[in-house]
Each structure stands twice: as C-alpha cells, then as structure tokens.
Amino acid sequence: MDFSKIEELNRKLKSLQPLNETEMKRLREEFVIENTYDSNAIEGNTLTLRETALIIKGGITIADKSVREHLAIIGHKDAFEYITTLATNNTELTTRVIKDIHSFVLLNDAVNKGVYRRIPVTITGAAHTPPPPYLVPVQMEALMGDFEGMKQNVHIIEAIAEFHLRFESIHPFLDGNGRLGRLIVNLELLKAGLLPVNIKFKDRMKYYDCFDNTYLINGRTSDALAELIARYETEELIRQIEILEQKANMPY
C-alpha cells in the first residue's frame, strides 16, 4: 500500500500555525464525542450522538436509557483521555496498559474490568472462534512481541491494522473488546505522530468485513482494515489542514 499521501498531508499539517489551547480543546472535545458515540453504537449502544454529547458535556441523564449505556459513554470518554496522556508520554503498549484501558471501558463491570476472560466465548455471526481462555495470556504475549516486529517491517498503519485484527480474534476480555481495540488503534496512531481516527457506525459493515475476510488464500492478512484506517486518517488530516488554513486567512 502507498501511504505517501498521508505522509505528505501530515508534513503539511505540522508546517502550519497550530491552534491555540482553547481551540484545540474544543476540537478534541468534538472528536471525543463523535468517537464515543460511533464506537459504542457499533457495539449496540442506543444512545444518539446528541444524547452522547449531553452526557459528556453536561452530565445529563437520558430518560429511558439504561445505566449501563450511560456508563459505557462515560467510560469511553475517560479511556480516550487516558490514551491521550499515554501517547503524550510515549508509553509502551503492554498487556498491563491494555488492562488499564479496559478498566475505563468496562466501567460498569467491577468484576471483569481489566481481567482476561475465564470462560470460552463465541462471536455471533463471526466465522472465527476465539481461543479457549487458557490460551489468552499466551496469545496476548505473543501478539505484543510480534507487534514490535511489525512496526519495524511495515508502515505503522499496516502494523496497527494487523494488531487490531489479531487482538479482536483473541477476544481477550469478556466484554468491551471492540471499543478497547479501537482505542488501542488511536493510541498507536497518536504515538506515531498521526491523528486519531473515528471508525463510524455507518461504516460498520465494511469494518466487520475486515474481520470476516482477514486471511487470503496465500496466508497473508488482508489490507482491507489498513485501507479503511488510512482513508479515515487522510480525511482527518485534510479536515484539520482546512481548519488551520481557514484560520490563517481570517482577517484580524
């Protein structure tokens, strides 16, 4: 895959006069709201984008919506803030860090948050069956080790896509794996100096297809997820460049 356009756009973004702290905070808040909505909606959360914004910005409780759905919104928002701090500190991705992020994601479940699953699971409608629980720690450690090699041998977006596919196939936790996996995608994008991406609810079938068609005939992993992440990254870069250029051209 050719990532030259992303590299070019990223260089252009970094060459422009950045937003001030207040402006950055506003844009970040808008992104977190949309990302929290979409990531939870993919997993079946019924709160709307507007309701998600009301919970995050105003702490408002939405009538007729469950406590579980409210906590999923709050937990994801807190998890995103946490990965932003991790990225700023260039924190190494470890199984301990993954469990810590999961503790935010599964805010509603004190027993299972940050704990690998201890029972076998199946994923409804998926062609793949996750490994038995006794293999989860082994496969997670193998994935962490392999990820370092991936980052050395392929573009970071390809490495992140490969990690995400394998992470979701392991399905290490009883619940919250999808939201957690997408947060890890953004953590690693931020650490690589790129922008976080928002895999949208409307694109969920394209996203699901990346997992159903993971392995090609020759045994190599599919490029579909890397292409999806790259498209979102390109769109985010263009959007932020346009914002900065519009600000630079405004009369004062």
Identity of the residue numbered 126: A
171 noted as active-site residue: yes
Q: Which long-range contacts (CB under 8 A, 24 or more apart) does 240-243 make?
A: 240/13, 240/27, 240/195, 241/9, 241/12, 241/13, 241/16, 243/19, 243/27
Catalytic residue selected from 70, 76, 164, 171 = 171
In sequence order, which residues have a C-beta less than 8 Å from that of residue 61 and are 6 or more positions away?
55, 70
Kindly state the tokens that stand for 125: 């409608």
Task: Report the C-alpha gap between 162 and 178 in whole angstroms.
Answer: 14
Give the three-class secondary structure for 180.
helix
Burial class (CB in 10 A: 0-12, 13-18, 19+), 68: exposed
The rounded distance, in Å, linking the Cα atoms of 116 and 65 is 28
Tell me the C-alpha distance between 242 and 9, whole Å. 11
What is Dmax (Cα atoms) for the chain?
A: 63
The answer to whether residues 85 and 103 touch, using CB atoms and an 8 Å cutoff, is no
Terminus-to-terminus CA distance in the chain, angstroms?
43
* Active-site residue set: 171
